[in-house]
Amino acid sequence: MKSVYIVNIPQYDADTVPLGPAILQKVAKEAGYKPYFSDLNLELDLKTKHNPKATTIWSSNLEGHLPYSVVKYLIKTIIDRTIDKIISTKSSFVGISFFSQKSMPYGLLFLKRLKTKRYFGKIVIGGPGVSRSLEKVQQLYEDGLTDYYVIGDGEVAFEKILKDELPYAGVNNTQSVAIGDMDSLAMPDFENFKLDLYPKMFDKLTLGIEGSRGCVRNCGFCDIKVLFLKYRYKSGQRLYDEVMFNVENNEVYTYWFTDSLVNGNQKEFRIMLRLLGDYNKSVHETKRIKWTGQYIVRPQKQYIEEDFQLLVDSGCFTLATGIESYSEKVRKDLGKNFSNADINWFFHKCQEHGISLFVMMIIGYPTEDEEAFQDTMNFFNEYEHLSDDNTISGIQLGHTMIMIPGTPTWMDRHELGIEYDAFNFISQPNSWKNANSDIRLRMQRRLIAQKHAVKLGWGIRSNQQQLDMFKRWSHDL
């Protein structure tokens, strides 16, 4: 039987089981191939957790390059061993998944080692990191490091490649493909995955689940619409069936929705919640579903009375929600049309129903002036009581505003007066400036906000990468 070897490339937080490779495994099986799988992102994460060089290894790619010491470590401990497995399985294809643009240096190293170690099969690359890095990917193709690259949704494209049914839109061209019927997608297949090694919630095996692609909003800072073209979703029944499939086949009861938002389609979302709620009421508490995901705050008038009880009954325990700024003007500028009164109502409804919240914010949107920044600072004072009772379990302040090509803000950069400073260690997406701020002021505000929030007892999520990045930036500034 022919075989295909699927590889997940670093670098991103290994906080959940990768869904893309699991779906591709199922596609490969249905195309008549035996799949193998290695998650190099997980392997690197596990190896660096208790390694003195962990900070260097895991944060080295922030500026898009890999130091020689990291290259040597990767080749010695992970890459060559994986390629030896690929060669030993005599796999006809290697499918390499790039989760983000930060995967590119790792992927380039892996592709070069494949050639050095004389792998003669066909190589396919895809994933969000490929779709976001067209020029680099086309260069990889021209240099003969990959036989196929896939832009946009990869399920049908991968099947066409394996079955030699080309040409197909999105394969070796820039015609990004968006699959319309999400219910038609294959169920993820987690065979070959070492599920027990991935992070757990409530000490239980946890799987990702995808309910939609794209977004119903068009936020100024976000490139999701560029990547996924249009908003598409699975039906509530299909999502429920997928959860039950994993309950029966993998005995998994805890889920992380990987969508940009779980409640983009309110009708189908409520159908899923009711089905999960009915299931949870019918089984022992040890078999009940629990889940978390990203959720958009809507104007109060868009809710119905039972929405919050449906969340509770379905097993929702935490919602991550991006309010981005507590300035209504800035929030309107970036495309989020709900008021501070809507936020207040939503937060207290969650408090009333015992639903935990994780809040995401951005410091330094181009229209954020000093007054708008102070509005966000006031947020920490106004909702300190919800932090104290753990309704708001944590908050993420991020890197400060990044100017990503293709986003609405980037498209409006001239109207916003965006210019760029040149630095040695600060990349251009971070180094923008206009009349309201530059990188110096944004970093200052970011650290002031964190200091103020921590003083009030808020839980702030700042990973080591962010702190290391700020240290490097300070050398330039």
Percent of the chain with pLDDT over 90: 75
Give the closest residue to 245 by CA, choosing from 207, 278, 273. Answer: 207
Q: What values do phi and psi take at 4, rounded to 5?
A: -135, 140
- Read off the pTM: 0.91
286 near 252, Cβ under 8 Å? no
Q: What is the dihedral of CA 187, 215, 344, 364, to 10 degrees?
A: 120
pLDDT tens for residues 28-39? 999 999 999 999
260 near 297, Cβ under 8 Å? no
Residue 75 confidence (pLDDT): 80
pLDDT tens for residues 194-215? 999 998 887 889 999 999 999 9
Residue 171 confidence (pLDDT): 96
Distance of CA 361 to CAs 112, 293, 364, 454, Å? 39, 16, 10, 15
CA atoms of 214 and 226, how far apart (whole Å): 9
108 near 115, Cβ under 8 Å? no
Instruction: Report residue 46's pLDDT band, with 50, 70 and 90 as the boundaries.
Output: confident
Residue 5 confidence (pLDDT): 98
CA atoms of 87 and 119, how far apart (whole Å): 6
- The two tokens of residue 442 are 């944004």
Return the SS3 of 139: helix
- The mean predicted confidence, pLDDT, of the chain is 91
Q: Is the pLDDT of residue 144 over 50?
A: yes
pLDDT tens for residues 372-411? 999 999 999 999 999 999 999 999 998 899 998 889 999 9
Give the closest residue to 185 by CA, choosing from 224, 165, 212, 167. Answer: 212
Q: Is the pLDDT of residue 127 over 80?
A: yes
The strands making up 316-324's β-sheet, listed across from edge to edge, are 206-209, 254-257, 290-294, 316-324, 356-361, 392-396, 460-461
pLDDT tens for residues 97-122? 999 888 998 899 999 999 999 999 99
Return the SS3 of 192: coil
Residue 65 confidence (pLDDT): 65
When pLDDT is averaged across residues 170-185 and rounded to a whole number, the result is 92
95: left (phi over 0), alpha (psi -120 to 50) or beta: beta
When pLDDT is averaged across residues 76-94 and rounded to a whole number, the result is 94
CA atoms of 206 and 200, how far apart (whole Å): 5
pLDDT tens for residues 232-270? 999 999 999 999 999 999 999 999 999 999 999 999 999
CA atoms of 8 and 126, how far apart (whole Å): 10
- The two tokens of residue 98 are 């790039």
**Which residue type does 158 have?**
F
| Cβ burial 435-446 (10 Å sphere, 16+ → b, else e) | ebbbbebbbbbb
Cβ-Cβ contacts under 8 Å for 206 (sequence gap 6 or more)? 16, 17, 198, 199, 200, 252, 254, 255, 256
CA atoms of 358 and 129, how far apart (whole Å): 26
Q: Is the pLDDT of residue 226 over 90?
A: no
Residue 76 confidence (pLDDT): 77
Q: Is the pLDDT of residue 3 over 80?
A: yes
Residue 428 confidence (pLDDT): 80
Residue 280 confidence (pLDDT): 98
Q: What values do phi and psi take at 312, rounded to 5?
A: -65, -50
Give the closest residue to 319 by CA, choosing from 349, 341, 342. Answer: 349
Residue 225 confidence (pLDDT): 83
pLDDT tens for residues 323-347? 999 999 999 999 999 999 999 999 9
- The two tokens of residue 321 are 């929600």
